[in-house]
Amino acid sequence: MTLGAPITDTVTLHVPFRVVKRGGRKEMQMPDGAVQPRRTENTLIKALARAFRWKRMLESGEYATIAELADREGIALSYMTRVLRLSLLAPDIVEAILDGRQRPEVTLARMLEPFSMGWIEQLQNLT
């Protein structure tokens, strides 16, 4: 085919998918059996990074209390404590999130809700 040449045949491509709402945005969901690409949740990854950074700052003695750190970061204490809890996730779950292998229902909103502190229970509930 050359530039400017008329197209004589029509090609029709059928791609089965459905649109679902997740976390306030729309995503395409492939049919059962189709391989979906890895899907990283940037907001969840950012929250994990913050949690481990804040934990390191507290453990190093840079800040004496969570309240002091929250004040310095300009973040509500209640939000900071919920995000800090992410540093208690099982390493397998953290790896899955960073690799984009987490289940679709593993969202930041769900992860900020109370969860079991035992890694075995976490793995049973979140993977």
Q: Hey, what are 4's tokens?
A: 């400017």
pLDDT score of 45: 95
Does residue 20 belong to any structural domain of this protein? no
Q: So what's the pLDDT on residue 2?
A: 60
Total structural domains within the chain: 1
Q: Which pLDDT tens digit goes with each residue over 15-33?
A: 788 888 877 788 877 777 7
Under 8 Å CB-to-CB from 31, ≥6 apart: which residues?
Answer: 16, 17
Question: Is residue 59 within 8 Å of 87, Cβ to Cβ?
Answer: no
CB 48 within 8 Å of CB 98: yes
Domain membership flag for residue 29:
no
Enclosing domain of residue 79: 39-126
Q: Is residue 77 part of a domain?
A: yes
Asked if residue 22 belongs to a domain, the reply is no
Residue at 87 is within a domain: yes
pLDDT in tens, 50-94: 999 999 999 999 999 999 999 999 999 999 999 999 999 999 999
Average pLDDT, stretch 108-125? 90
Give a yes or no: residue 101 inside a domain: yes
The confidence score (pLDDT) of residue 101 equals 85
Q: What is the structure's pLDDT at 36?
A: 61
Instruction: For the chain, state the CA radius of gyration.
Output: 21
Q: Is residue 43 part of a domain?
A: yes
Question: Alpha-carbon distance 111 to 95, whole Å?
Answer: 15
Q: How confident is the model at residue 14 (pLDDT cuts 50, 70, 90)?
A: confident
* Residue 6 falls inside a structural domain: no
